[in-house]
Amino acid sequence: MRARMGSIAAKCSCSMLLTFPIYSSCIFSSKLEFRRIEQVVSNFDPTAVIQLSWKPRAFLAKRFLTDSECDHMIQLAKDKLEESMVADNESGKSVKSDIRTSSGMFLMKGQDEVVSRIEDRIAAWTFLPKENGESIQVLRYQYGQKYEPHFDYFHDKNNQALGGHRIATVLMYLSDVVKGGETVFPSAEHDGGPKDDSWSDCGKSGLGVKPKKGDALLFFSLHPSAEPDPMSLHTGCPVVEGEKWSATKWIHVGSFEKPRPKSGECVNEDDKCEEWAAYGECKKNPAYMVGTPDWPGACRKACKLC
């Protein structure tokens, strides 16, 4: 993993420090791909990016998403939420924990035109290849729900088998929150200065970012040397008033493309497929359930296509 990361760092390390996109061959596979991404980022304003910290490396993009993009992701997720899980440090398996009390679900990569456009924008901003990203996870935090201090890089080997460590995280805020729900880096080199009473007590405990609809937080979990950055420790503060919706894109050192069933293969990739089909999702969400000519659906069996 370190050797692989070294080659990436040598090619793209400068981009990991930038707060705005500069085109490079490290993320574009062809001239056609370059032009497609160029069109996507033409609507992205690099002057709206704020450098929050160098230790850890963290940046905030104001108005990264439109209101309609935020609402669209919430709409896709709201009927499919499940209790959030965490990765066990020893086994790497997903387990329930009081550390993380939100509910959420994963969208499908390129699930529709809107999701694909957002994924392109993330790749352009972070300067990390689109295929290195996990599927976007949409999360809902209700009153009192939180995610206690944790790292996004892994402590077990199992979760590094596909794509290696998580190098960066893009956390997109899909809603405003009346109070609480801040993202805080308690070990950051500086705490961002004095905070007024609009911040929760948790939000005052370190370098913090308030959730604001459309904004996006980018931070790196690894140093350019590929070593984990302990200052990337972060927490999702409890919601004190209101409700918080967010969407997370974790990005790995290498490709995170999982093998998919061959087109036409009759399988359900999720235990919830039959339940979703019963609720009419085969017609409401055909791209994910049934699939497209280029991407087999996750619930073909439940949708009785085979």
Decide if 166 contacts 221 (C-beta within 8 A).
yes
Last-in-domain residue among 213, 228, 252: 252
Residue 44 pLDDT:
74
The encoded tokens of residue 44 equal 């992205």
11 plus 95 within the same structural domain: yes
pLDDT in tens, 174-198: 999 999 999 999 999 998 889 999 9
- Report how many domains make up the chain: 2
CA atoms within 13 A on the CB side of 297: 23
CA distance 169 to 133: 9
Helices 113-126, 67-77: crossing angle, 10 deg rounding: 120
Read off the amino acid at residue 265: E
CATH of the domain at 76: 2.60.120.620
Is the predicted pLDDT of residue 14 greater than 80, yes or no? no
Domain span including residue 298: 261-306
Q: Give Cα separations from 254 to 119, 170, 225, 230 (angstroms).
A: 16, 16, 15, 21
- Calculate mean pLDDT across residues 246-253: 95
Last-in-domain residue among 231, 252, 273: 252
Residue 2 pLDDT:
34
147 plus 110 within the same structural domain: yes
Residue 5 pLDDT:
35
CA distance 145 to 98: 10
132 plus 268 within the same structural domain: no
pLDDT in tens, 221-237: 999 998 999 999 999 99
The encoded tokens of residue 24 equal 């490079």
132 plus 267 within the same structural domain: no
Is the predicted pLDDT of residue 150 greater than 90, yes or no? yes
Query: What is this structure's pTM?
Result: 0.75
**Percent of the chain's residues with pLDDT above 90:** 53
274 plus 174 within the same structural domain: no
Higher pLDDT, 123 or 96: 123
DSSP state of 100: B
226 plus 268 within the same structural domain: no
Q: Per-residue confidence at 64, pLDDT binned at 50, 70, 90?
A: very high
201 plus 270 within the same structural domain: no
193 plus 265 within the same structural domain: no
Decide if 37 contacts 21 (C-beta within 8 A).
no
206 plus 295 within the same structural domain: no
- Calculate mean pLDDT across residues 149-162: 80
Residue that has been written with the tokens 């963290």 in this structure: 58
149 plus 265 within the same structural domain: no
79 plus 225 within the same structural domain: yes
